[in-house]
């Protein structure tokens, strides 16, 4: 069995600074890929999220796991920056791009939970669309031609949730449902070119920001269950990272093009477990707890 199935592959993880993006970049690196890690937070300056994680740190983690991490500061809402970035990838990799992950987000602090859309800040609501829809479109616009030219590759739209159900706030719902349809629509345009497009969601993500929110560390994350019982089924960012790496290494992945996928279903398909030795399954858990139905968790 090849433990470096992506050793000759080139990946771009747009939004690789922290959370799912970092987990995906690192696991692609563990599978041997060259990974461009983009984002706005660098050692020279933080983004408006104002957290300590940086793209340089992520790239170093990629390299430490056996891949090649390349940090590049890119604001994916700025078209010229994105265009210049993919020109660089094209030149450095001789036109090769095999994996494009759209994980651009950075919107948590702008969601006003429990507020109806007409009372929510319109500026904040539109910023969510700017970062999760427009930025993804710009990134795909300039990245996809490299794949189309070679008639191979996979685009992964990262989101929150599998279906089209309401996610508790209109602007947040729109921001997270849109990438699902982006993948579905791109899949149709890309079908003649043998390029796959899917959307992928993690379960209850134990990201750096979520750990900070519950005032715990990865080492004592279970202490947060007292505040949020559902946190018991949380997963590290490396769980969905393995899901993406497994998809990228699957020779039959084109059969999944256009689909909305999840870390928990893909863990069943590909047989991976989380790095802490657990096998979280948000779908089964949510059904058992009665907090979601089968359509909402993408399970028949």
Distance (Å, whole) CA 107 – CA 114: 16
**Which position among 110, 172, 238, 285 bears the catalytic label?**
172
Those residues with Cβ within 8 angstroms of residue 152's Cβ, 6 or more apart along the chain or in another chain: 98, 194, 195
Quick one: which H or E segment has residue 265?
helix 263-270
Distance (Å, whole) CA 282 – CA 230: 9
Within the chain, strands assigned E span 10-14, 34-39, 68-73, 99-102, 154-158, 196-201, 260-262
Polymer length of the chain: 300
110 is a catalytic site residue: no
Q: What is the DSSP letter of 16?
A: -
| Rounded (to 5) percent helix, strand, coil in the chain | 50, 10, 40
Looking at the annotation, which residues are catalytic?
A: 172
């Amino acid at each position: 069995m090849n433990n470096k199935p992506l050793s000759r592959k080139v990946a771009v993880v747009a939004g690789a600074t922290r959370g799912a993006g970092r987990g995906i970049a690192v696991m692609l690196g563990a599978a041997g890929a060259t990974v461009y890690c983009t984002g706005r937070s660098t050692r020279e300056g933080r983004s408006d999220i104002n957290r300590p994680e940086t793209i340089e740190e992520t790239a170093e983690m990629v390299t430490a796991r056996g891949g090649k991490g390349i940090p590049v500061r890119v604001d994916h809402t700025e078209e010229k920056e994105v265009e210049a970035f993919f020109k660089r990838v094209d030149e450095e990799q001789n036109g090769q791009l095999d994996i494009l992950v759209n994980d651009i987000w950075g919107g948590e602090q702008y969601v006003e939970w429990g507020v109806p859309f007409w009372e929510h800040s319109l500026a904040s609501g539109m910023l969510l669309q700017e970062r999760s829809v427009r930025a993804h479109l710009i990134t795909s616009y300039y990245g996809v031609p490299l794949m189309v030219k070679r008639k191979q590759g996979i685009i992964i739209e990262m989101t929150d949730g599998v279906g089209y159900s309401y996610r508790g706030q209109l602007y947040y719902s729109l921001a997270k449902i849109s990438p699902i349809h982006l993948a579905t629509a791109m899949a149709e345009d890309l079908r003649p070119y043998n390029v796959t497009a899917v959307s992928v969601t993690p379960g209850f993500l134990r990201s750096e920001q979520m750990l900070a929110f519950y005032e715990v560390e990865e080492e004592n994350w279970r202490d947060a269950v007292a505040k949020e019982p559902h946190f018991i089924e949380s997963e590290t960012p490396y769980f969905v990272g393995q899901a993406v790496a497994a998809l990228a290494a699957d020779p039959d992945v084109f059969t999944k093009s256009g689909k909305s996928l999840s870390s928990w279903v893909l863990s069943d398909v590909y047989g991976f477990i989380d790095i802490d030795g657990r096998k979280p399954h948000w779908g089964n858990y949510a059904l058992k707890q009665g907090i979601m139905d089968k359509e909402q968790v993408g399970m028949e």
